[in-house]
Amino acid sequence: MPTYYGDIPDSLRTKRFLPLSFNMWPIIRDFGWNYSKNAMELVFDKYYYLARERLDEAIYTAKEIINGKINDPEKVFTFFFFPVVFGIRSDLQIGTTKLLYGDSTDSTFILINDFTGEIGTFFNCHMESGIPVDWFMIQKDDEILNRRHIKFGYKLKDIPNKYKTLRKSGQKIIDVLKDIRNERTPQWANSTYHVVLVWMSAACNLGIEISNYESIANIYDGITAPRIWGLPDAYFEYVPYPPFIQTLLISPRFNFTVILAGLSAGHNLYIQGLGDFWINWLKSDLPEIYESALINKLEKNGLVTPYQTLNCQIADLNSKEIWKTSKFEPSYPEGERIFSQSLGMSTDEVLHGVYLDINKDTPPDYKITKDDILSLGIGRSTKFIK
């Protein structure tokens, strides 16, 4: 029996945002709220390790690129320094980071528990001219989360519970984090500071998204939720907005996705490598999600192409009927989709990363095959095909 929107407890602060989670909503619908709640809590406990794996690989790959140890960096993907939710081509990582965040900046990714409102994992990266020069990560039980705001006395981990919006929470969180930065690295006391606040359900949604185009589009959906759909807050939030990102967010979804896909992937589609840790953990602890969200996508339904992502119709959240019937699934235009068997690979092989020579201009009736593969894998283990 399917789960409906009304079956989710009204006490959940992020309930209104779940229709924007294209991957999480089908899980809630098909497996029920109790199962989904348990799954999100499990991910919350493991997210530190997922983020650490991704950030480490991104940084080690960047070092080898700078030192000239990797050939053809234009075919090597890692996850973005900040945030680590979508893949970026290694030769574009430093330039894009500098363009988005500036010359000298601290950026902190903060994960918030939907059910308790508390901060769990967060990781900080200081970048000079787009190059990470210092970073650290905090787990949910770290003593640093008990640091208090010097004026209001709130513990760092509790700040999201004290304010109605992520923006106001972020402003107070930065006060605490700047104090920590000035103690650890006083030489960067005058550098800019940005935080990204992300609810666990949004992180879960992006954690099983394997299309770089879909990941970027979903980021736009979450940040612009108040402006476009009149929702009470953003699903995730930049505080403050880096100037270039703020300019991009004024654009339509199509433009935002195209520009960031260009800056991160040269407009091509990257089927994002999830990494051994994440794949094996999903298989072991959440096999239902591995089957429904990943295997079914690559073997039965097919992964959407850039054309389909860019021309996707999101459910009209201004319609009362949509909320009543819980018909939140996005509508994609007709066209060829991508299947693991068409690529001549197993699903597990695809989930380790595939860079394809298809982009926003690829016709919707073009059939994607193994001949379109440019490289396989992620980071330092990338294998070149063409």
**What's the chain's Rg over C-alpha atoms?**
20
- The predicted pLDDT at position 381 comes to 87
DSSP state of 323: H
Q: Is 341 helix (H, G, I), strand (E, B) or coil?
A: coil
First to last CA, the chain: 47
Integer Cα distance of 254 and 274 in angstroms: 25
**pLDDT for residue 57:** 83
Give the bridge partners for 194, in sequence order. Answer: 107
Report which of 212, 213, 204, 202 is spatially closest to residue 235, judged by C-alpha positions: 202
Alpha-helix runs per DSSP H in the chain: 24-31, 33-66, 90-101, 159-162, 166-184, 200-207, 212-223, 225-229, 243-250, 253-265, 276-285, 287-289, 296, 306-310, 320-325, 347-350
Q: What number of other Cβ atoms are within 10 A of residue 377's Cβ?
A: 18
Low-confidence ranges of the chain (pLDDT < 50): none
pLDDT of 86 reads: 80
Contacts of 275 (CB under 8 A, 6+ apart): 50, 53, 54, 57, 352, 378
User: CA 37 to CA 292: how far, in whole Å?
Assistant: 16
Give the C-alpha separation, 220 to 41, whole Å: 25
**Structural tokens at position 40:** 């999100």
CA angle 361, 312, 345 (to 5 degrees): 65
Burial, 150: exposed, middle or buried (Cβ in 10 Å; 0-12, 13-18, 19+)? exposed
Integer angstrom CA distances of residue 258 from 207, 248, 287: 21, 10, 33
Asked if residue 84 lies in contact with residue 55, where contact means CB atoms within 8 angstroms, the answer is yes
DSSP of 98-119? HHHH-SEEEEEEEEE-TTT--E
pLDDT of residue 366: 97
Predicted local distance difference test score (pLDDT) of residue 66: 81
Interacting residues of 243 by C-beta distance below 8 A, sequence separation 6+: none
Going by C-alpha positions, the residue among 157, 143, 145, 317 that lies closest to residue 225 is 317
Sheet hosting strand 354-359, strand order edge to edge? 268-271, 354-359, 373-376, 383-384
- The whole-angstrom separation of Cα 286 and Cα 295 is 13
Residue 258 CB partners (closer than 8 Å, separation 6+) = 267, 310, 360
User: What local confidence, expressed as pLDDT, does residue 181 receive?
Assistant: 94
> Hey, how many other C-beta atoms are within 10 angstroms of the C-beta on 27?
23
| 320 burial via Cβ count (<10 Å: 0-12, 13-18, 19+) | exposed
Query: Is 132:126 a contact under the CB 8 Å cutoff?
Result: yes
